[in-house]
């Protein structure tokens, strides 16, 4: 299982929110590149970068930060937040993203998202399936749609989607543990996807459980920044699972 730390960006700074609420913003580092370099030094190969300003503005904003992380590290970056147009996508890839995550766009403008899957390939486009009460949430989690989570994923599997990041918003940033039951149900009904679990990771012991369920990756945010899970533990986990 891949370990994918999260770097969430507002005003060019590394922050975390609770349940996607912008008023809960806490700044952890003024310089996201420093954070990325620390991750890389601990043997981490992947990072999930979220442009929270972009999610609010509905277009890419913090692409310069993406570019700096891509230039100064060898991390494989998955980038999301506010990607709405072909131009946003072009900027993200030109700025160094290896993959992009589309969430709101997959609900609000499925034709453009399907076009991206066709044009860029299923290894480059991740479906962001962020849910509240098993309904897909959109627009930086400010809105709830009528889309049911599992049928939404299944519909995009028919379009060839391989990678899905699923965040249970009620868990995000709360350090109360991930939605094991939800991931279990998703994997039972969508067995061919690479499921990346996100939200609520709070202790190191949860990671082997997610791996056991069959999650292909897990995104860890606040637990790292609040020192609930150390980079040393993650380094050990990566070494053990790679051998």
Q: Which residues contact 240 (CB under 8 A, 6 or more apart)?
A: none
Q: Which of 85, 82, 121 is nearest to 101 (CA)?
A: 82
User: In angstroms, what CA-CA distances link 176 with 14, 30, 202?
Assistant: 22, 26, 6
H or E stretch at 113: helix 110-120
How far apart (Å, rounded) are the C-alpha atoms in residues 237 and 25?
29
Question: 51, 88, 130, 168: which is the annotated catalytic residue?
Answer: 130
Task: Tell me the sheet residues that pair with 166.
Answer: 129, 197
| Annotation marks residue 53 as catalytic | no
Based on the residue annotation, tell me whether 51 is a catalytic residue of this protein: no
Tokens standing for residue 69: 């992380």
CA angle in degrees (0–180, nearest 5) for 60-62-66: 105
CA atoms within 13 A on the CB side of 21: 8
Residue from 8, 51, 78, 168 carrying the catalytic annotation: 8
d(CA 18, CA 199): 10
Helix (H, G, I), strand (E, B) or coil at 40: helix
Nearest to 79 by CA among 121, 126, 39, 122: 126
Residues annotated as part of the active site: 8, 130
């Amino acid at each position: 299982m891949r370990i994918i730390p999260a770097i969430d960006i507002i005003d060019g700074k590394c922050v975390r929110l609770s349940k996607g609420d912008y008023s809960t913003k806490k700044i952890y580092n003024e310089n996201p590149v420093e954070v990325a370099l620390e991750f890389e030094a601990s043997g981490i190969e992947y990072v999930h970068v979220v442009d929270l300003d972009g999610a609010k503005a509905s277009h890419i904003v913090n692409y310069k930060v993406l570019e700096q992380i891509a230039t100064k590290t060898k991390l494989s970056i998955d980038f999301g937040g506010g990607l709405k147009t072909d131009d946003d996508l072009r900027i993200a890839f030109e700025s160094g993203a290896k993959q992009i995550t589309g969430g709101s766009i997959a609900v609000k403008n499925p034709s453009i998202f399907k076009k991206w899957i066709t044009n860029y390939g299923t290894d480059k486009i991740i479906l962001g399936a962020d849910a509240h009460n098993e309904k897909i949430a959109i627009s930086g989690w400010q809105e709830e749609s009528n889309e049911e989570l599992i049928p939404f994923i299944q519909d995009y599997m028919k379009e060839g989607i391989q990678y899905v990041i699923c965040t249970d918003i009620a868990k995000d940033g709360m350090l109360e543990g991930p939605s094991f039951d939800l991931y279990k149900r998703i994997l039972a009904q969508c067995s061919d996807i690479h499921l990346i679990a996100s939200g609520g990771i709070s202790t190191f012991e949860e990671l082997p459980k997610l791996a056991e369920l069959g999650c292909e990756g897990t995104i860890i945010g606040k637990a790292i920044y609040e020192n609930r899970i150390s980079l040393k533990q993650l380094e050990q986990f990566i070494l053990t699972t790679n051998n």
